[in-house]
Structure 1
Amino acid sequence: MSRIDDTTDFIPVRIAVLTVSDTRGLEDDKSGDVLVQRLTYAGHDLVDRRIVIDDRAQIAAQLQAWCVDSGVDVVISTGGTGLTGRDVTVEAHRDVYEKEIDAFGTVFTIVSMQKIGTSAVQSRATGGVAKGTYMFALPGSPGACKDAWDEILVKQLDYRHRPCNFVEILPRLDEHHRRK
């Protein structure tokens, strides 16, 4: 069963938050605020926070910039994961991913089903890895961000979480780039 190993030290990770929106600014970005509050409360470092419009190329460019920044371990985006024509965050993430974390979307759907029932099918939350950086795309609602953080990410981004977690394999994510 999943648990926190209190005999192991917590290791903070460096997280960037990206809000994808045509209408929000930092002053009214409730979903971004939820993520920042939760990640800092958990002991992680917020290293950057940006807002970009719903434009696939701009989203992908920001993700790529953070993936090559050695000061960023994790990118969490919020917004643009739905089904409308403007919702292109998932496509932008997949443009950047080297590997998709397929089960992230599945687990997010399971968590969401408990809160919003079958409306969970309208989310396309996703996770992946590129250049040694984890990336997660969450829906744009504060509730969805809370659910993703509280039920999945707070545990998987905690080095003490057992039986396994994302942090313990972080140093090995880009080992294929280092091979000769």
Structure 2
Amino acid sequence: MSRIDESKEFLPVRIAVLTVSDTRTLDEDKSGQTLVDRITGAGHILADRMILRDERAEIADQLRRWCGDPGIDVVISTGGTGLTGRDVTVEAHRDVYEKEMDAFGTVFTIVSMQKIGTSAVQSRATGGVANGTYLFALPGSPGACRDAWDDILSLQLDYRHRPCNFVEIFPRLDEHKRRK
């Protein structure tokens, strides 16, 4: 069973938040603000935040910039994971991933099913790794952001979480680039 090992020191993670929307401003961005509040409330560092339109190339370019920034460990996007024609966040993430975390979408669906039932099937939440940076694409609702953070990311981004977590393998995410 998972648990927090209180004998270990908490290590803050540097996280960027990207809201994908054709219509929202920062003042109206409830989902992005939900993530910011939870990130900072947990003791992590908000490394950057922005809003981009639903444009695949622009989203992928920004993800790549953040993955190349040594001051950013994790990128969480919200919005654009649905089924409509303008929902291109998942495709943009996959354009950037070196490795996709298939289980993230599965676990998110399990968490969502407990809250919204079969409507969870409409989400295409995804996670992956690129250039030693974790990337997660969440749906654009505050509830989905709360669920993903509270039930998955807050635990996996806590170095004290046992039996394992994302933070403890940060140093090994790009080890393939160091090998000759």
3-state DSSP class of the match of 1:127?
strand
3-state DSSP class of the match of 1:119?
helix
3-state DSSP class of the match of 1:84?
coil
Residue of structure 2 in register with 1:157 after alignment: 157
1:83-140 per-position Cα deviation (integer Å, ceiling 9, x unaligned): 0000000000000000001100000000000000000000000000000000000000
Q: Take 1:139 and 1:179, find their aligned partners in 2: how far apart are those partners?
A: 37
Deviation at 1:178, TM superposition (A): 1.2
1:33-53 per-position Cα deviation (integer Å, ceiling 9, x unaligned): 000000000000001001000
Residue of structure 1 in register with 2:133 after alignment: 133
Q: Take 2:55 and 2:73, find their aligned partners in 1: how far apart are those partners?
A: 24
Residue of structure 2 in register with 1:122 after alignment: 122
Q: Verify: 1:97 aligned to 2:61, yes or no.
A: no
Structure 1 gap segments, 5+ residues each: none
Query: Which residue identity lines up with residue 53 of structure 1 in the other structure?
Result: R
Q: Take 2:109 and 2:103, find their aligned partners in 1: how far apart are those partners?
A: 10
Query: Which residue identity lines up with residue 171 of structure 1 in the other structure?
Result: P
Runs of 4+ with >3 A deviation: none
Structure 2 gap segments, 5+ residues each: none
Matched ranges for 1:1-180 at <5 A: 1-180=1-180
Deviation at 1:171, TM superposition (A): 1.0
Deviation at 1:151, TM superposition (A): 0.2
Q: Take 1:134 and 1:12, find their aligned partners in 2: how far apart are those partners?
A: 14
Query: Which residue identity lines up with residue 127 of structure 2 in the other structure?
Result: G
1:9-37 per-position Cα deviation (integer Å, ceiling 9, x unaligned): 00000000000000001010000000000
Query: Which residue identity lines up with residue 104 of structure 1 in the other structure?
Result: F
Query: Which residue identity lines up with residue 73 of structure 1 in the other structure?
Result: D
The aligned length equals 180
What is the aligned-residue identity percentage? Answer: 81
What's the TM-score, normalizing by structure 1?
A: 1.00
Computed over aligned residues only, the root mean square deviation of the Cα atoms, in angstroms, reads: 0.3
3-state DSSP class of the match of 2:113?
helix
